Amino acid sequence: MPTSATVSPYRIASGKFAAAYIVTMRPYLLFVSGITGIAGMAFAPALVPSVAIPIAIAAFLSYGFGQALTDCFQIDTDTLSAPYRPLTQGVITPRQVLTVSLIGLCVCVTIFALRNPVNLALGLLAAGGLATYTPFKRRWWGGPWYNAWIVSVLFTMGYIAGCGSELQAPTAGCYCALGAVFFGYANFVLAGYFKDIEADAKAGYHTFPVVYGRAAAAIGSDVFAGGMWVSVLAFFALGRGGDSPVNVLTIAFLAGAAAAALRGQLLLHRVGTDEASHPAIGLVVHSYILVLAAIANAQYPTWGGALAAFYLLFVMTLRARPSRSQI
């Protein structure tokens, strides 16, 4: 495997750099931030496509820019667990990736801030969180919740951007959805650590699975999953706005999310090696996207077709990822 000592980095203006940077962005996970921003803006009243589409695009791309940014600070463990990534191979450099990532995040934040300047402050807060995530990942108590609050900020930015200058106090349903985002994403982070336990241990990352083992981490994952579902049930039982009934597609999204979540949590308890963890992690991601699609569709039933297409595109993109064991 090539290393930075034997390979000359691509020029930042070249097509090869662009292709390598896209791999670093994890295209299959852009859907995670995309659905988070979409779910947030679904609580804004009277959205029109000319407003909703730019917000959705900014949310979609923000994960990729943020992931590339944090990768610059985790090359030590990624070299062991994900040698296929361009940063670990040395074909692109941390300085190049930091430059592009910061520019990309600034563009995304600008799109949000054009709708409401409050998002400028929130965007800077989230960017600061991304830049400081790695020290928290090294501590068993820090990684999942620290990453989850950053993604919760994205949900909030989606809501504020959707409202624009007519910002309203969030409804009870909005807070329930925010809870689903926080607990659901924290679960994804904790489950994701299962694929890197050996590499994290060697690199000095004292994640929860490294310190307490897979069995205890699987129980912790169950707790986060439970928090997500309590929030979801609270949304549909207590906080859903509007007079329209829950439609068939919303029920289908929820049923798919429940099936994926149940199977994913059961599989996580059976994981015995890093290499065997990806089916469970993948199901956790499926459940997160489907849950937020259900919430967004409950708020805006007319979005159903677009949300279904969004999920199908996620499925196809996930299958095309460069390393089956990495999610």
Q: How far apart are the first and last CA of the chain?
A: 21
**How far apart are alpha carbons 21 and 86 in whole angstroms?**
8
Look at residues 189, 211, 191, 187 and name the one whose alpha carbon lies nearest to residue 200. 211
In a domain, 71, yes or no: yes
Per-residue confidence at 269, pLDDT binned at 50, 70, 90?
Answer: very high
In a domain, 27, yes or no: yes
Domain with 129, as residue range(s), is: 15-319
pLDDT digits (tens, 9 = 90+) for 203-234: 999 999 999 999 999 999 999 999 999 999 99
Task: Note the Cα 154 to chain centre separation in Å.
Answer: 10
**How far apart are alpha carbons 303 and 70 in whole angstroms?**
32
In a domain, 269, yes or no: yes
pLDDT digits (tens, 9 = 90+) for 64-117: 999 999 999 999 988 888 888 999 999 999 999 999 999 999 999 999 999 999
Helix (H, G, I), strand (E, B) or coil at 200: helix
In a domain, 324, yes or no: no
In a domain, 164, yes or no: yes
pLDDT digits (tens, 9 = 90+) for 57-76: 999 999 999 999 999 999 99
Residue 27's alpha-carbon distances to 6, 89, 145, 310, in angstroms, are 27, 19, 23, 13
In a domain, 158, yes or no: yes
**How far apart are alpha carbons 267 and 273 in whole angstroms?**
12
In a domain, 6, yes or no: no
Report the domain count for the chain.
1
Task: Note the Cα 119 to chain centre separation in Å.
Answer: 19
In a domain, 169, yes or no: yes
